[in-house]
């Protein structure tokens, strides 16, 4: 009997198996504020003392963080890598620890919870996102930090390439939360003024962030529910990122409202998930959204939904461009012209 001759390796299966351990290592280190302790070189004994932790197990824990390239070790001391020093040290402008902890709350705690959701569907107490403002208000600054890691800059670069951009005078950022995208875009055009629209629970934090950048004279705020309340008019640019999903079953009246609020020749830009290949790609997006989709609501968009709704609302041309994002692999930028 001959041995089999596999043409592929099972390594991905073991990578999947140990993925949970990697996630827990990162989240536990963030909860314990390990990376605040290792801005400068520290021994395992010093770190264990600060954490009031078991020294031997702390050493094993720190070594594993080194294996993940979140720490580096030399001569018995540990120090942050560029990755952890940039994104996991509290107080830094791109600190993502709070956001990672928030996102982790949506993950299943056990395999049994996932299996139950698959078998039984969302439970009776599943989150239905009835009060989105309250849900997101406490995390607005954390989401702003994530936007600062390159996302707002990338969006602003893409929008500034629009042939109409130099002539734009007024912009509306729907569901803009922290306002970082609006700040980045308006900084690209000195003649452009912005309005950030979000819920009353969020908008006071938006004001604070706008003030941090000294943009109070160029960016105003508007509070309410943009799906039902007036959103103003006379805009050259209306922008929405990762917010239209909450209205996925009722996009047409919203898009007509957006269309009517634009000046002739105005542009509507939506940045959102766009699932392809029968809902199986982009991989990072499909996997990261799964716990929320299984346990509460599936808010994902297939790629054609938004552009089709734009055309139906009256936009004369629509263009879709995928953009890279660190959290979910990629998102679609959909540009509709009135």
Looking at the predicted structure, is the pLDDT value of residue 130 above 70?
A: no
97 within some domain: no
Task: DSSP letter for 227, please.
Answer: T
pLDDT value at residue 127: 54
Helices 305-313 and 251-261, packing angle to 10 deg: 50
For residue 133 the two structure tokens come to 């403002």
230 within some domain: yes
Domain, as residue range, for 145: 132-337
Looking at the predicted structure, is the pLDDT value of residue 129 above 60?
A: no
Instruction: Name the burial class of residue 53, with classes exposed (0-12), middle (13-18) and buried (19+) by CB atoms within 10 angstroms of its CB.
Output: middle
Strands 329-337 and 262-272: antiparallel
Same domain, 182 and 327: yes
Distances (CA, A) of 6 to 17, 53, 79, 226: 21, 46, 42, 56
For residue 29 the two structure tokens come to 């280190």
Print the SS3 string covering 2-59: CCCCCCCCCHHHHHHHCHHHHHHHHHHHHHCCHHHHCCCCEEHHHHHHHHCCCHHHHH
Task: DSSP letter for 273, please.
Answer: -
Same domain, 248 and 172: yes
Q: In what order do the strands lie in the sheet with 262-272?
A: 219-223, 193-198, 170-174, 235-241, 262-272, 329-337, 317-325
Same domain, 269 and 145: yes
Over residues 96-119, the mean pLDDT reads 93
Same domain, 199 and 310: yes
pTM exceeds 0.75: yes
3-state secondary structure of 127: coil
| Residues 300 and 328: beta-carbon distance below 8 Å | no
Looking at the predicted structure, is the pLDDT value of residue 296 above 90?
A: no
Same domain, 325 and 235: yes
CB atoms within 10 A of CB 84: 24
Position 139 confidence tier, pLDDT thresholds 50, 70, 90: confident
Position 131 confidence tier, pLDDT thresholds 50, 70, 90: low
101 within some domain: no
CATH number reported for the structural domain that contains residue 46 in this entry = 1.10.10.10
pLDDT value at residue 295: 87
Burial call 300-323: b when 16+ CB within 10 Å, e when fewer: bbebebbbebbeebebeebebeee
pLDDT in tens, 165-175: 999 999 999 99
**Separation CA 149–CA 151 (nearest Å):** 6
Same domain, 151 and 39: no
Same domain, 206 and 266: yes
**How many Cα atoms occupy the beta-carbon half-sphere of 275 within 13 Å?**
17
pLDDT value at residue 106: 87
Over residues 234-249, the mean pLDDT reads 93
Q: Which of 40, 73, 92 is the last residue of a domain?
A: 92
Q: Which of 40, 70, 92 is the last residue of a domain?
A: 92
Same domain, 237 and 165: yes
pLDDT value at residue 132: 52
Percentage with pLDDT > 90 across the chain: 87
270 within some domain: yes
Number of domains present in the structure of the chain:
2
**Separation CA 260–CA 173 (nearest Å):** 15
3-state secondary structure of 222: strand
Same domain, 187 and 280: yes
CATH number reported for the structural domain that contains residue 163 in this entry = 3.40.50.150
Q: Which residues pair with 241 in a beta bridge?
A: 271
Same domain, 168 and 254: yes
102 within some domain: no
Looking at the predicted structure, is the pLDDT value of residue 200 above 70?
A: yes
288 within some domain: yes
Same domain, 146 and 65: no
For residue 26 the two structure tokens come to 């990162």
Over residues 44-60, the mean pLDDT reads 98
6 within some domain: no
Same domain, 143 and 259: yes
Q: Which residues pair with 333 in a beta bridge?
A: 271, 321
Q: Which of 69, 92, 115 is the last residue of a domain?
A: 92
| Residues 266 and 297: beta-carbon distance below 8 Å | no
For residue 100 the two structure tokens come to 């990672």
40 within some domain: yes
Over residues 217-225, the mean pLDDT reads 97
Looking at the predicted structure, is the pLDDT value of residue 133 above 60?
A: no
pLDDT value at residue 135: 59
Over residues 312-323, the mean pLDDT reads 96
Question: ω into residue 282 within 30 of 0, thus cis?
Answer: yes
The mean of the pLDDT values for the chain is 94
Angle at 320 between CA 318 and CA 323, to 5 degrees: 150
């Amino acid at each position: 009997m001959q041995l089999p001759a596999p043409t592929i390796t099972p390594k991905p299966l073991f990578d999947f198996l140990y993925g949970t351990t990697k996630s827990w290592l990162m989240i536990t280190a963030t909860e314990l504020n390990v990376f605040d302790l290792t801005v400068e070189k520290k021994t395992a004994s010093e770190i264990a003392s600060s954490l009031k932790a078991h020294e031997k197990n702390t050493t094993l824990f720190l070594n594993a963080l080194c294996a993940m390239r979140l720490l580096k070790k030399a001569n018995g001391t540990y120090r942050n890598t560029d990755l952890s020093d940039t994104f996991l040290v509290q107080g830094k402008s791109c600190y993502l620890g709070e956001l990672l902890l928030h996102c982790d709350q949506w993950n299943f705690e056990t395999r049994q919870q996932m299996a139950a959701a698959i078998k039984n569907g969302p439970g009776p107490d599943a989150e239905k996102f009835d009060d989105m403002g309250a849900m997101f208000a406490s995390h607005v600054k954390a989401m702003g930090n994530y936007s600062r890691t390159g996302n707002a800059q990338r969006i602003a670069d893409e929008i500034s390439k629009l042939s109409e951009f130099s002539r734009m005078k007024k912009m509306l950022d729907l569901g803009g939360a922290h306002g970082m995208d609006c700040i980045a875009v308006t900084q690209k055009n000195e003649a452009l003024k912005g309005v950030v629209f979000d819920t009353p629970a969020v908008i006071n934090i938006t004001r604070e962030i706008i003030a941090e950048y000294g943009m109070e004279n160029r960016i105003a705020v508007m509070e309410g529910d943009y799906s039902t309340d007036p959103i103003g008019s006379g805009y050259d640019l209306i922008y929405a990122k990762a917010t239209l999903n909450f209205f996925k079953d009722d996009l047409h009246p919203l898009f007509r409202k957006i269309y009517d609020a634009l000046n002739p020749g105005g542009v509507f830009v939506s940045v959102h998930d766009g699932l392809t290949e029968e809902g199986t790609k982009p991989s990072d997006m499909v996997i990261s959204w799964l716990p929320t989709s299984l346990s509460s609501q599936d808010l994902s968009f297939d790629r054609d939904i938004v552009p089709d709704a734009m055309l139906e609302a009256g936009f004369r041309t629509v263009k879709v461009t995928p953009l890279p994002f660190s959290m979910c692999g990629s998102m679609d930028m959909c540009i509709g012209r009135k």
